Chain A
Amino acid sequence: MAKELLKGNEAFAEAAIRAGLDAFFGYPITPSTEFLEHMAKRLPKIGRAFIQAESEVAAINMVYGAACAGKRAMTATSGPGISLMSEGISYIAGTEVPAVIVNVMRGGPGLGNIAPSQGDYYQAIKGGGHGDYFPLVLAPATVQEAIDYIALAFDLAEKYLSVVIVLVDGNMGQMMEPAELPPMQEESKEPPEWAVTGAKDRERNVLTSIYIDPEDEEITNLRILKRWKEAEKNEVRYKEYHMEDPEILVIGFGTAGRVASSAVRDARDEGIAVGLLRPITLAPFPERRLEELCDQVRRILVVEMNTGMMLDDVLKTVKGRVPVEFYGRLGGVTPLPDEILDEIRRVSKNKGEMKGDPRNEWMDRLEKMRMGDA
């Protein structure tokens, strides 16, 4: 197929349909709404299930139902919607059925705004819902990547009987880029043997997340954790840019990573030995790769569109072996290449120790900058 100019949300939605999506349940919310609108246009025409639910709470529980029936079901929303889905997500995880959830992130907390943000990283990675469960989280950074990883999301969800969250920001959802859609996947795979489809010619199936005896719940928690550990072994994905023996390592995901790639390119032009690691799976996080890089680089700069959430996972992995600095823009502000370039320049000159929270210095810098603005 030739490339078309595709709008993120619509492309993701179409990719899901072609990956064999059976049912979409959602509720409109900027900047994810075109996702739902595309489903509304396409699914009824091809006889698959679409409902604009009364709320995100209802939507996720419809997904829960369809998933229990062994079908490929998904929803797409933004931060506030994910918060309302937290209980349902925890139930799906606890019932060990597959589901795919897309979060097109916007500025928060609260109502915040509808501008692109990465402030839902914690919520996605640490699990916004209650109890011990571990969603897989994918963070594509181009429309083409998103198209490819939406299909992967379903495969992973089914392989690990897990919730898979696709985490993009409003830029990704709203932008148009040339990209290629996969062909329509042939439908009607047999329902998995655990699905509820009516107990005909087989033992009945019961799907629940209740284990009233703590001992049973403990075994369940352990089973879920072990599956997660498997994923940690097999499913780590990331992309690297200008990684010719770098002295400085920039780490960023999604749009932040993509913008950083421009800055890194420009910095290389200036002769700064800097490379970029862009995690595509945020959970599992590319820990092993980062550990390797710790032996090569002199300093690390983490760039995010939040107050430093992935930073936690970086620090946990780096274990103080390399100084880590942070640069973040907040509340819906997308950093621009020149800012990040300035940061790279600064970091490449900075030989100082980093003690305490790397965010302390950044907060001062950002504040000065904002004062500058004002």
Chain B
Amino acid sequence: MPEIKNLSYIQAVNHALRWSLETVPNTVVFGEDVAVPGGPFGATKNLHRDFGVDRVFDLPISETAFLGMALGSAMTGLRPIAEIMYSDFLFVAMDQVVNQIANIRYTSNGKWGAPLVIRTQQGSSPGACAQHSKSIEAYLAHTPGLRVVCPTTPMEAYQAIRTAVVSDDPVFVVESRMLYPQKGEVQLDAELWPMGGARVVRPGADATIVAWSRTMTAALEAGEQLAARGVDAEVVDLRWIAPLDVETVADSVAKTGRLVIAHDAPGTGGFGGELAARVGERCFGRLRAPIARVTGIDAPLPAAPALQDVALPSADRIAGAVLETMSA
């Protein structure tokens, strides 16, 4: 009988890390406050106790050094899983990501590799300042050599981390802080999932909504709203930013003829642009309306909830955009 548990997203992360430490040789887990404290959000709870300080350890506030350490140790036999507490902090260590981790396999002609995982979490929450609310997938997506996944459910998080840990590529697991408390069924002994692949979460015929990360919540809610108004939207969770599964999206759009893309990151230069460009190319002539994007504002995110409310995609705005494509 499959081992199924009802877990919160953050608990699922914890289980996946535990699985990694138990199952994948030479896995180590490090970051800030991940050992004795068990992680600022509890992702690494009890791992230090159960696997010891050699495998699970705390580090100084030195993200550049520890992402570099992740790379160097991955090149030489370990399988590090590093935690960047908020995705915003990645920018202090961006050189190690863009100029080092992403490059080494290619520039060594495949002789070195970087089998490492960087976990982080992103998104805005009420009162969070502009330095704690970035959504960073587009910066990563534009950096060839990286794999990037944005899980949206406990099961997705569990599987994404396991897939990432056994991968020989550097993988960013970009979790969502707002989704951490959400519960769902997790099959702990599930087969590993292959890397990549979008998922049709809500099948529909009239229009396609694609989202990822926190924004999926709003997208699904928009789907419900639309259903109540007689519009049958297909909602797709993009899941993996890299590798990118354009097929699933394009297949959906080929069917519906309409596409709304939603994400929390600013619209300009966001990954929605890439996706729109790709689908625009693939589905040329089959689109019945322009592809619409519903995104975070082109501004640093404000902290006050009164401003945040209009700064990020809501179900209303996504549903509105779909209705607009329907009347186009």
* A and B part of one assembly: no
Residues of B within 8 A of A (CB): none
Q: Which residues of A contact B (CB under 8 A)?
A: none
